[in-house]
Amino acid sequence: MAIAHDDPRLIDRDGLARALGEAARRTAAVLLAKRAARDVKLKADGSPVCSADLAADFAAKQALAELLPGFPVISEESVGEVAPASVFILLDPLDGTREFLASGDSYCVAIAVILDGRPLAGAIAAPAIGRLWYGGERSFAQDLDAEAKPLGAPRQVHVRCEPEEGPLMLVSRFHGDTVSAGVAAAVAKGDSAPVSSAVKFGLIASGEADLHVRGGPTMEWDIAAGDAILAAAGGIVLTLDGEKPGYGHAERDFRNPPFVAAGCERLARVAIEKAATCRC
């Protein structure tokens, strides 16, 4: 049965975000338990998958069924099994599989609720760096211990004012592209910081960085949670055409257009202008 637009769980966006955060945290604990997984296979698109992806996918769906019963879930690991509806969940149970397999720290779980093509709430849990972010009306961050259990109370987070010396730009560790490199050279201060996965959105939302540009391919489940968290923290995600991205596009296999994530719209527009020269 479809989720109605007047469902009270959709009205309380911060409560919805907390539920997503708990589901992400539980899933993150599974990823920690599977840190030794190295049984890699390649999917049809050439991206890697291992038993940790599948175990996290199972755990996330179990948690969501308990915490948000009735919401249809479209997951990276089971795409095609569920069709997009006016309300649905986008799930990436292990965003940053290459980072995970390389024993890096910036992999995460990313979950978002989509309403009429836009993210209503989202959560990102990055267990190896002990961080959880979630956002609805407002954005929050919480520390996690070595078992992905909560440490202390969640705290509200906001983007920061753009530094006078220039923005700190986050770039992909494994998926660099000429557009992001060109923007970094034009606007970023010093060296850009390499970070994998949707963790970039959390760092911008909590005022630890300012900008991320992606000119290469990504999927909707890669960015929807970060879009929700960043917007609730005062930031913005725009496509390089200057529009807010839409979600639930099964007709394009859930692929995103190139985009920019920034702490403010002015910086996003500057990055889009610079990106246009790199795309010519």
pLDDT of 122: 98
pLDDT of 178: 83
Task: Return the half-sphere exposure (C-beta side, CA atoms, 13 A cut-off) of residue 146.
Answer: 0
Lookup: tokens for 253: 């296999």
The residue type found at 275 is A
Please report how the helices 220-232 and 13-33 are oriented relative to each other, as an axis angle in degrees rounded to 10: 130
pLDDT of 191: 61
Among 156, 190, 217, give the residue marking a domain's end: 156
Residue among 99, 70, 97 at smallest CA distance from 3: 70
pLDDT of 1: 62
Lookup: tokens for 116: 């009429």
Among 129, 156, 183, give the residue marking a domain's end: 156
pLDDT of 81: 86
Beta-sheet pairing, 139-144 with 131-135? antiparallel
Q: Are residues 113 and 23 in the same domain?
A: yes
pLDDT of 279: 62
Among 101, 123, 156, give the residue marking a domain's end: 156
DSSP bridge partners of 170: 193, 212
Which residues form the domain of 128?
Answer: 8-156
* Mean pLDDT in order along the chain per 10 residues (280 residues): 89 97 98 84 75 93 97 92 93 92 92 98 97 98 97 97 90 75 78 79 96 91 98 98 96 94 96 82
Q: Are residues 139 and 27 in the same domain?
A: yes
Q: Compute φ and ψ for 48, nearest 5 degrees.
A: -80, 155
- CA–CA–CA angle 21, 98, 145 (5° rounding): 40
What is the Cα–Cα distance from 55 to 143, expressed in whole angstroms? Answer: 23
Please report how the helices 13-33 and 51-67 are oriented relative to each other, as an axis angle in degrees rounded to 10: 150
Q: How many domains does the chain have?
A: 2
CATH of the domain at 251: 3.40.190.80
Q: Are residues 94 and 115 in the same domain?
A: yes
